[in-house]
Amino acid sequence: MGEFVSLEVDGGVGTIRLDRPPVNALNNQVQSELADAAREATDRDDVRAVIIYGGEKTFAGGADIKEMATRSYAEMLRFGTALTNSLSLLAGIPKPTVAAITGYALGGGLELALTADRRVAGDNVKVGQPEIQLGIIPGAGGTQRLARLIGPSKAKDLVYTGRFVKADEALALGILDEVVAPDDVYSAAHKWAAQFANGPAVALRAAKAAIDGGLDLDLANGLKLETQLFTGLWATEDQRSGMRSFIENGPGKATFEGK
């Protein structure tokens, strides 16, 4: 457990919790601890799904501007590379992940949320990539993951203007997947994650690898990747027990060991 980032596990669901008041700004230590939490969540067999959570007040307000303002180019190159690598480790967790967004997710905070497979937010949240207002651009996925998620034209509007987006518009744009009452954000995210706690972990890993990996390929090679991952599941116990249960008991009644 780090000073600012922890991984708490309960019933197969791991919660990566940021706790650096007042706004969970992403400094050197936070990005390093996020990387450690991502590695732990990846490696632990008792973690079957992951929630990324900043607490009841705010998800994350972005990078620590006071810390960044006086850095040299060489220093920022090291920090920017490290932050991108840390967020890529979160995006690469081979399990279902969901960001539980309260308050706001701005700049690096939105980039953090974009690493998740799904985003649940309160109806009072604001999200955005306001870096242009500082004379810079997003540097840890905001120009890449956002464009892949909502398309280049909409991403350019948000990045060029740096404007804040309220929950209803963010839902319509596809940045958010579910909007709930502010007090229900974590419970809604947990409800989604918990459905995978006893699921076929190897198949879920393969599904994530097929979708994420296929986005970087043309259709023909994406289909080849899918076929390899699909057929590889015939080497798992979950495939055998899942199909046996279907034949004997009908759909939706299988129990899985994640092997």
Question: Is residue 232 domain-shared with residue 116, that is, in the same domain?
Answer: no
**Is 111 an annotated catalytic residue?**
yes
What percent of the chain clears pLDDT 90, i.e. is strictly above it? Answer: 86
Sign of CA dihedral 209, 211, 213, 218: positive
Q: Which residue is it, tokens 């939490």?
A: 37
Question: β-strands 118-122, 178-180: how paired?
Answer: parallel
The CATH number of the domain holding residue 208 is 1.10.12.10
Question: Is residue 139 domain-shared with residue 238, that is, in the same domain?
Answer: no
Within-domain flag for 101: yes
Q: Which one is catalytic: 131, 178, 237, 257? A: 131
Q: Give me the domain span that covers residue 208.
A: 201-249
**Is 33 an annotated catalytic residue?**
no
Q: What is the pTM of this model?
A: 0.94
Question: Is residue 137 domain-shared with residue 226, that is, in the same domain?
Answer: no
Within-domain flag for 176: yes
Q: Which residues of 49-73 are buried (b: 16+ CB within 10 A; e: fewer)?
A: bbbbbbbeebbbbbbbeeebeeeee
Which pLDDT tens digit goes with each residue over 103-133?
999 999 999 999 999 999 999 999 999 999 9
pLDDT at 251: 85
pLDDT at 253: 79
What domain count does the chain have? 2
**Radius of gyration of the chain from its Cα atoms, rounded to whole angstroms:** 19
The CATH number of the domain holding residue 139 is 3.90.226.10
Q: Which one is catalytic: 3, 56, 67, 111? A: 111
